[in-house]
Each structure stands twice: as C-alpha cells, then as structure tokens.
C-alpha cells in the first residue's frame, strides 16, 4: 500500500495511487458541481414517482400524475379534427363558386387543395399543375374541357375518357388516328401539318400549306373549330380538342410530334375521383386548380 503524501509542486495531498511514478492528486469535486449532481438525483426520484418511468413487461409504471403522451396526441388530433369539421361541413354544403366567395373557406380549401393535389394529381400534372407531355397544364388558361369552377369540378369528379358513367369523352376515343385508320394518306398528313405550322408562324412549305388548309377544313374543323381555336373556344361541347394555335402543346407542336399525333391519334385518360375522394376534398381540389392561374 502506497503512502499518502503531499505533492510538492501543487501542495495537494495524493490519493496514494501511483503508476510508474505518476501520483494521483486528491482534488475534491467543486461544491457547485456536487450540489447540481444531488439535485439531479432528487429530481429523477420525484420524476419516477410522478411520471411514467419504468417498463414492467408489457406495461409500465404510470406515475401519480397519470400523464400519457399518447393520450395527449390523440386528444390534440381529436381537437384539430373537430376544428376542421366545421369547415369541411361548410365546404360539403356549398358550391365551388360559393366557397370561392367566402374568404375563410377559400383559405381553408386552398390549403387542403394544395396538399390533396400533391398527393393525388402531381404525379401526372406536375407540382403546381405545370403539366407534361400528354398531361395538360392546369395553371394556364387553355382548357380542353372548360375552366369554370363547375367544369373543373365535373372533370375531377368523373375524369376524362375514364370508365365512369358521367365521364367527359368516350373511353378509347379522342383525336382520330387519321393515318392508321386510312382516312388521310402520308402526303395529306404532311400538308395539314405544314398548315398547322404556318398558323403558328413556323417554317412551312407554302405549296403544302395551301393544300393543307383544304385538308384541315374537310377533316379537322368539326372538332378543333374553324380557326383551329380548340373545341372549348369554338363552343363545341364534349370533345376536348385543344387549340392548334398556341405555344403550350399537349403532345408537342414540332413537325415530328404533329405528324405522330395526326397519324396515330391520341386519347389522354384522366381517372375519375368521385369514388376515391370525398366531396369536400374534390371541391377543395377544384378551388385549388381554379386558382392556379387559369380559372375562368
Ligand atoms: C394518371 C394521370 C392523371 C392523374 C393522377 C390526374 N390526372 Fe388530370 N388529367 C390527366 C390527363 C391525361 C388529362 C387530359 C385528358 C385529355 O387529354 O383530355 C387530364 C385532365 C385534367 C383536367 C382538365 C384540363 C383541361 O384542360 O380541361 C383537370 C382539371 C384535371 N386533369 C385535374 C386533375 C386533378 C385535380 C387530379 C387529382 C385529383 C388529376 N387531374 C389527376 C391525367 C391525370
Ligand atoms: C373527333 C374529333 C377530332 C378530329 C376530327 C380531329 N381532332 Fe385533333 N384532337 C382531338 C382531341 C380530342 C385531341 C386531344 C387528345 C387528347 O387530349 O389526348 C386532339 C389533339 C390534336 C392535336 C394535339 C394537340 C397538342 O396540343 O398536342 C393535334 C396536333 C391535332 N389534334 C390535330 C388534328 C388535325 C390536323 C385534325 C384533322 C386532320 C384533327 N386533329 C382532327 C379531336 C379531334
């Protein structure tokens, strides 16, 4: 047993432990540190008694206060739901137009609509409804099926060319496959394509444009309108034919894409949501889409 001696340099007594000539000084803990340590021990004992603390197999000590974080969360969710219910009931009972006119309801529907949109629609229509090839932009003022609140509501409820009794458009039909179905030959398709390019002030062969105009008048105006303004602008119901004079093409406005569309046709399909989402959700979505920028 080593001797307890005073360290010469610091004047502090050593503990008597020594390793290879190094001695351990016997410095007590600072008082403030020690007291905080005791307070922590006392605090933990009180906490053990008052709050849930110790696991006991499948259960645990509940503590004298009976506090439960889980019940706390359940209660908070119930409170939030009750708060929302007021708005959801109001939304369900009003038309989309009426919701737009009520400042509080509008704010609530917009917030909900944005999150429902991200969940259900953004995969096809892009975040913020910017669209993509075959998926229309919902944030501009070009509408295939109408941009009023009632139109948008109907589109979301029943979809487009979907298997739903009240759908817009017939499943499987849309833009006729003029080439594949043998209605127009290659030359005529080439001509009408140049005519559309010329309408859009793009490079086109004048001789083809003149012939293409006739092809267009004979085959396309019934759906796309006599000015190629699209079925909605031409006042033609239930067709969904886009304008052919524009910059934001559904399938592409360059020569190759135009030829492809006219040769093989297109039939975009939008699912029906009436059976998947409740009415308040669909109305919130209609409000959100209508306010993306292009609502009429
Ligand atoms: C599976 C892909 C898909 C999903 C998911 C989808 N859509 Fe669509 N949507 C389409 C397609 C394709 C069209 C265009 C149909 C056509 O060519 O006429 C369309 C068209 C629309 C239109 C009509 C646009 C116009 O110009 O008239 C609206 C409005 C719309 N969608 C809203 C929604 C909303 C809201 C949701 C989410 C609840 C949604 N869509 C989910 C594919 C989808
Ligand atoms: C029976 C109606 C109908 C006729 C006739 C018709 N179209 Fe279409 N067209 C449509 C529909 C509907 C769409 C949209 C398809 C979709 O949404 O998937 C469309 C889409 C298009 C597009 C794609 C537009 C874009 O934004 O990408 C082009 C181009 C087009 N049509 C050209 C023509 C030409 C040229 C003719 C005449 C030779 C013609 N269409 C005749 C119904 C028609």
Which-ligand-closest: CA of 192?
2
Q: Is residue 4 part of a domain?
A: no
pLDDT of 293 strictly over 90: no
Report how far residue 153's alpha carbon sits from residue 151's, in angstroms, rounded to the nearest whole number.
5
CA nearest ligand 2 atom 42, residue: 175
Regarding whether 280 and 244 lie in a shared domain, the answer is no
Q: Is residue 74 part of a domain?
A: no
Sorting pLDDT into bands at 50, 70 and 90, what band is 45?
very high
Regarding whether 90 and 164 lie in a shared domain, the answer is yes
Residues in the chain: 296
Which pLDDT score, from 0 to 100, does residue 3 have? 65
Regarding whether 226 and 90 lie in a shared domain, the answer is no
Regarding whether 236 and 194 lie in a shared domain, the answer is yes
Judged by phi (left if over 0) then psi (alpha if -120 to 50, else beta), residue 133 lies in beta
Range of the domain at 149: 86-170+270-290
CATH code, domain with 162: 1.10.760.10
User: Which of 224, 228, 255, 265 for a ligand 2 pocket mutation test, highest count of atoms within 8 Å of Cβ?
Assistant: 224
221 CA to centre of ligand 2 in angstroms: 10
Q: What is the DSSP code string of 169-212?
A: S-TT-SB--TTTTTSS-HHHHHHHHHHHHHHTT----HHHHHHH
Please state the rounded mean pLDDT for residues 130-157.
93
Q: Is residue 98 part of a domain?
A: yes
Regarding whether 282 and 258 lie in a shared domain, the answer is no
Residues 78-89 have pLDDT tens digits of: 999 998 899 999
Q: Is residue 122 part of a domain?
A: yes
Regarding whether 236 and 94 lie in a shared domain, the answer is no
- For the chain, the average pLDDT equals 92
CA nearest ligand 1 atom 10, residue: 270
Q: Is 220 annotated as a binding residue?
A: yes
Note the Cα 99 to chain centre separation in Å.
21
Regarding whether 201 and 132 lie in a shared domain, the answer is no
Regarding whether 54 and 20 lie in a shared domain, the answer is yes
Q: Is residue 9 part of a domain?
A: no
Q: Is residue 109 part of a domain?
A: yes
- Cβ partners under 8 Å of residue 126, min gap 6: 132, 135, 137
φ/ψ of residue 233, rounded to 5: -65, -30
175 CA to centre of ligand 2 in angstroms: 4
Report how far residue 75's alpha carbon sits from residue 124's, in angstroms, rounded to the nearest whole number.
37
Note the Cα 185 to chain centre separation in Å.
43
Note the Cα 203 to chain centre separation in Å.
38
Which pLDDT score, from 0 to 100, does residue 181 have? 96
Regarding whether 275 and 248 lie in a shared domain, the answer is no
Regarding whether 248 and 103 lie in a shared domain, the answer is no
Which pLDDT score, from 0 to 100, does residue 22 have? 87
How many domains does the chain contain in total?
Answer: 3
Which pLDDT score, from 0 to 100, does residue 17 have? 85
Please state the rounded mean pLDDT for residues 171-183.
94
Sorting pLDDT into bands at 50, 70 and 90, what band is 130?
very high
Regarding whether 102 and 162 lie in a shared domain, the answer is yes
CA neighbor of 281 nearest in space, from 157, 131, 135: 157
Regarding whether 160 and 94 lie in a shared domain, the answer is yes
Sorting pLDDT into bands at 50, 70 and 90, what band is 13?
confident
pLDDT of 7 strictly over 90: no
């Amino acid at each position: 047993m080593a001797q307890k001696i005073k360290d010469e340099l610091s004047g502090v007594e050593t503990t008597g432990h020594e390793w290879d000539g190094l001695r351990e000084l016997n410095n007590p803990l600072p008082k403030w540190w020690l007291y905080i340590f005791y307070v922590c021990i006392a605090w933990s004992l009180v906490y053990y008694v008052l709050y849930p603390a110790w696991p006991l197999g499948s259960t645990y000590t509940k503590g004298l206060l009976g506090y439960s974080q889980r019940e706390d969360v359940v209660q908070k969710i119930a409170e939030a739901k009750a708060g929302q219910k007021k708005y959801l009931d109001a939304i369900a009972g009003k038309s989309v137009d009426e919701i737009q006119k009520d400042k509080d309801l509008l704010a609530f529907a917009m917030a909900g609509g944005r999150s429902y949109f991200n969940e259900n629609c953004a995969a096809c229509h892009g975040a913020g409804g910017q669209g993509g090839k075959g998926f229309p932009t919902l944030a501009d003022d070009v509408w295939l099926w109408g941009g009023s609140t009632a139109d948008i509501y109907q589109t979301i409820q029943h979809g487009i060319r979907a298997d739903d009794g009240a759908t817009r458009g017939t499943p499987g039909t849309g833009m006729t496959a003029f080439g594949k179905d043998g209605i127009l030959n290659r030359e005529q398709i080439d001509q009408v394509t140049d005519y559309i390019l010329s309408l859009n002030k793009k490079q086109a062969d004048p001789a083809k444009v003149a012939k293409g105009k006739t092809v267009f008048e004979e085959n396309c105006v019934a759906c796309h309108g006599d000015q190629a303004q699209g079925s909605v602008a031409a006042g033609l119901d239930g067709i969904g034919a886009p304008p052919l004079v524009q910059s934001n093409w559904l399938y592409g406005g360059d020569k190759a894409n135009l030829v492809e569309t006219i040769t093989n046709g297109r039939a975009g399909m939008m699912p029906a949501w009436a059976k998947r989402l409740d009415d308040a959700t669909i109305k919130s979505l209609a409000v959100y889409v209508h306010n993306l920028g292009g609502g009429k």
